[in-house]
Amino acid sequence: MISGRTLGQGVACESKMSREFFKATSLCSISEKDYKSLGITQGKNVLITSLFGQAVLSAHSNPGLPPGITFIPMGPWANALVGPDTGGCGTPQFKGVEVNIEATDDPVLEIRELFRDMEMVKA
């Protein structure tokens, strides 16, 4: 998994509780080949799990991504998947995070629900 800034995320980042920010950051792009091999269909959500956490996101096929890569815009859902290690630079590793992806019928959580679930896991 890699994460980075997107135009949609940047435009909506001043209102992190807005519907626009939710729509811009609670999705992932998956390579076309992986999208098909995982049996994901249009409008389906995926559960993405890493060593550090998990998140349900809206999945989209991206023919420009190579197989084995998924892209998630920077935001709370990407943050749920990256580890706390900063390598001394103060910024977590947003690139090269190993994840597992599977189709799910679970909904994408709103920001408050996502944080509430993260707190429950920590407890």
Tell me the pLDDT tens digit for each residue of 28-61: 999 999 999 998 888 799 999 998 889 999 999 9
Q: What is the band of 100 on the pLDDT scale with cuts at 50, 70, 90?
A: very high
Statement: residue 81 has pLDDT above 80: yes
Q: Both tokens of residue 15?
A: 């209102």
C-alpha–C-alpha distance, residues 65 and 53, integer Å: 23
User: Residue 25's domain spans which residues?
Assistant: 2-122
The count of structural domains within the chain is: 1
Q: What is the band of 123 on the pLDDT scale with cuts at 50, 70, 90?
A: very low
CATH at residue 61? 2.40.40.20
User: Is the pTM for the entire model greater than 0.85?
Assistant: no
Q: Mean pLDDT across the stretch 95-101?
A: 85
Q: In this structure, what are the phi and psi dihedrals at residue 83, rounded to the nearest 5 degrees? A: -80, 170
